[in-house]
Structure 1
Amino acid sequence: MNNHHKSSFILLIFIISLINCDEKNWKQKDIRDYNDADLERLFDQWEENEEPLPDDELPEHLRKQSPQIDMTKMDFSNPENVLKLSKKGKTLMSFVSVDDNPTRDETESITSLWQSSLQNNHIIADRFIVDDNRAIFMFKDGAQAWDAKEFLIQQKRCKDVTIENKVYPGKYSKQKKKEEL
């Protein structure tokens, strides 16, 4: 081997040892001392070992396929059940209005109580106040919206529940009492 090859070989070994040394050093560093390159390496390692989420755990817009609907189990004489089954596994919003001109704080308190009651019955919904007397209940599984509606319209202060542009008046609402007269 001539001197040029020897020096290139020594330089190559030196660079490899520096890389290995650097890799060991960044792994032994205190995380508070990590620089951007160390964090990038850590992130790359994390991504290499990450398994993809199962389809049912992905957000709705990233799923490869939507839940299959068994048409044999559908009762086409009941349009509400058809809607309920068609919304299974899909996000759905419903509007809930509170009766008796409540303040925003009252609406917050009342709808929070309703949300807790629904969760106690395994009906999961996020709740957002949109007006002094109105809230949105957002269901990750849209089929639960109709079960929630059955509970909500039975509540004394529920004016109405709107799902898919259909309004269901509350059992005790002043609006329903006027219609009955």
Structure 2
Amino acid sequence: MLKHFVILLLILGTIAQQKKKKDLTSYTDADLERLYDEWEENDEDELEEDELPEHKRPQKKLDLESMKAQAKNPEELLMMSKKGQTLMMFVNVVDTSQPTKRDIRPFTEKWTSLWQSQLFNNHVDIQVFVIDDNRAIFMFKDGSQAMEAKTFLLKQEYVSEVSIEGQIFKGPANPKSEL
């Protein structure tokens, strides 16, 4: 990383002298971004596939027929098709001691944070964003981990609903739940 920074500074200095004799401290963000793009184009070292941004990674061909043959159920098929892709799961939370109360943001933040750490301890890498007083988004960098998290979340007493890819699963806190 230090090597790249030194090279960037050398390039900045050379370009500054060649073009407009512009002072290095007067470079704008746009100048630096342009310089960085130019540097990346001329960089000999190619990034590993997993280091590339998701939109620049080569798309893997999904062989749906072989996946269907390997999958034992629709959830396994979803896990296989979402491997390595970002996936979002919506989770609704209810305080069972006050089921009609809707202004429960601190409660939701507390429990979703706790679930995130419990899942992380089980090697499920997620980010959690509370988007409403009783609703959160769980974002998975590897969508194949979503089913494991769904199974865990549906056992939590304050989860009323989990939604993945348009499928809705009722949790223990859902009054219409048949658990």
- Report the TM-score when normalising by structure 1: 0.67
The number of aligned residues is: 149
For structure 1, the residue ranges without an aligned partner over 5 or more in a row are 1-21, 27-32
Q: Deviations over 1:98-130 (max 9, x none)?
A: 023461111111101111111111101111111
Offset at 1:74?
4.4
Q: Please say if residues 160 and 168 of structure 1, whose CA atoms lie closer than 8 Å, have aligned partners that are also in contact.
A: yes
Question: Which residue identity is paired with 2:83?
Answer: K
SS of equivalent to 1:127: strand
Residue in 2 that maps onto 1:84: 79
Aligned counterpart, 2:121:
120
The answer to whether the 8 Å contact 1:129/1:135 transfers is yes
Provide the rounded CA distance (Å) in 1 between the counterparts of 2:56 and 2:165.
23
Write out aligned runs for 1:163-174 (5 A). 163-174=164-175
User: Is the Cα–Cα contact under 8 Å of residues 69 and 85 in structure 1 kept in the other structure?
Assistant: no
Confirm or deny: 8 A CA contact 2:67 2:80 kept in the other structure.
no
Pair 1:99-2:99 in alignment: no
1:66 deviates by: 2.7
Deviating more after overlay: 75-84 vs 91-100? 75-84
**Stretch deviating more after TM superposition (117-126 or 70-79):** 70-79
CA RMSD of aligned residues (A): 3.2
Map 1:13-162 onto structure 2 (within 5 A). Answer: 34=25, 36=27, 47=40, 48-49=42-43, 51-66=45-60, 71=66, 74-100=69-95, 101=101, 103-162=104-163
Q: Distance in 2 between matches of 1:175 and 1:59?
A: 42
Q: Quote the sequence identity (%).
A: 47
Instruction: Give, in whole Å, the separation in 2 of the partners of 1:160 and 1:44.
Output: 44
Q: What's the offset of the Cα at 1:169?
A: 1.3
Secondary structure of residue in 2 paired with 1:119:
helix
Q: Which residue of 2 aligns with 1:11?
A: none
2:67–2:77 Cα contact (<8 Å) kept: no
For normalisation by structure 2, the TM-score amounts to 0.68
Q: Is the 8 A contact 1:88 1:142 kept in 2?
A: yes
Aligned 8 A contact 1:126 1:137 in 2: yes
The structure in which a higher percent of residues are helix is 1
**Structure 2 runs not aligned, ≥5 long:** 1-12, 18-23, 96-100
Larger Rg: 1
SS class of match (2:109): helix
Q: What is aligned with 2:21? A: none
